[in-house]
Every structure is written in structure tokens, then in C-alpha cells.
Amino acid sequence: MPNSNAGDVKQTRAGTGHFFIVDQRLWKVVCDKGDINAAAAWLLLMQGTGRNQRTTAWSVDSIMR
């Protein structure tokens, strides 16, 4: 029997989501260094990178704090 509530759910799409992609090859290089702090900092920098994929502001501030 079809779901009678299927039409009741309103789905809106405000954007593409809050996610970022990490290149598996680069992640391996970072992790192979053996420094978990450096790997965590790299992930934080990647998350804060702007649309141009070259600049970041808040993530640097977060690392410094």
C-alpha cells in the first residue's frame, strides 16, 4: 500500500549542504607524516577554505586558539 503521508513532507533545498571533499591521496600523505596534530590542522584548514579553494580565515583563527 502506498504511503499516504508522502505528499505531506515538504522538502526544501536551501543549498548544496555543508560538506567538503578531501582528496584521498593528499590525506594519505598528511597521515603518513605521523603527526595527528598536523593532520587535524590540515582538516580544519580544508574545512574553512573558501569557494576559491585558496583562502581561509576562520579556520586559521581556530587553530591559533
pLDDT in tens, the chain (65 residues): 455 555 555 555 565 666 778 889 988 998 898 888 888 888 888 888 877 777 887 877 888 88
pTM of the model: 0.55
Is the CB of residue 5 less than 8 Å from the CB of residue 14?
Answer: no
Return the pLDDT at 50. 77
Give the integer Cα–Cα distance in Å for 50 and 45.
Answer: 10
Return the pLDDT at 1. 47
Which set of grid coordinates corresponds to residue 19?
A: 560538506
